[in-house]
A and B are shown apart, each in its own frame.
Chain A
């Protein structure tokens, strides 16, 4: 199966700082990647769809100025949490799909904002 990596796997930062999370498709090209947020024992909530070479599409209620997404190449999408606050602490997961059959998820990034 396809492999999607995410970096870092875990990050702890101070309130007010910005954190960048990388999502890479290692063995296939992904024109579309997705960013999810997951709170403990809850479902995955789609935050935005990242499109290579164009602006990301954000879901309702997600602040685009706070969660900056860049999809600069067919294998890399980045999510930057700007001016992070404790309520932004969560598990962030990216995924990519080659076809409409299945999505391949990255291992996730656990963000803790102090």
Chain B
């Protein structure tokens, strides 16, 4: 079935350092979404990328969708302690026609040391 691979699994940074997490799919994705889950919380939607080569920014977060629409990245500039959490990418679920079905990557757990 369709898989979305995400690396790294863990990332420890000092506050102020940059952070990047990468997502790769074996198949072309019609879109990719990114979610953030704070410790003890639930996933919260960050953004959706649809177009080949698309780049979107949200303050210190930069999201990219590869030209082949098989990979994506999330980059955080100058991390802050509030960035702590797990970042997931998610692609459309394989099979079926379920509206909004997603396949999540493994997630990257970000720890920011003050």
Contacts and interface: CB of A to CB of B under 8 A. Distances in A.
Interface stretch (A11-19, A38-46, A68-76, A77-85): A38-46
A105 B42 CA distance: 7
15 contacts: A1-B45, A31-B99, A34-B100, A43-B104, A43-B107, A44-B43, A46-B102, A49-B98, A51-B98, A57-B96, A93-B43, A102-B48, A103-B43, A103-B102, A105-B44
Interface in A93-114: 93, 95, 97, 99-108
A102 B43 contact: no
A32 interface: yes
A100 B99 contact: yes
A96 to B, nearest CB: 8
A65 to B, nearest CB: 20
Interface of A: 1, 31-32, 34, 41-46, 49, 51, 57, 60, 93, 95, 97, 99-108
B102 to A, nearest CB: 6
Nearest to B92: A100
A57 B102 CA distance: 14
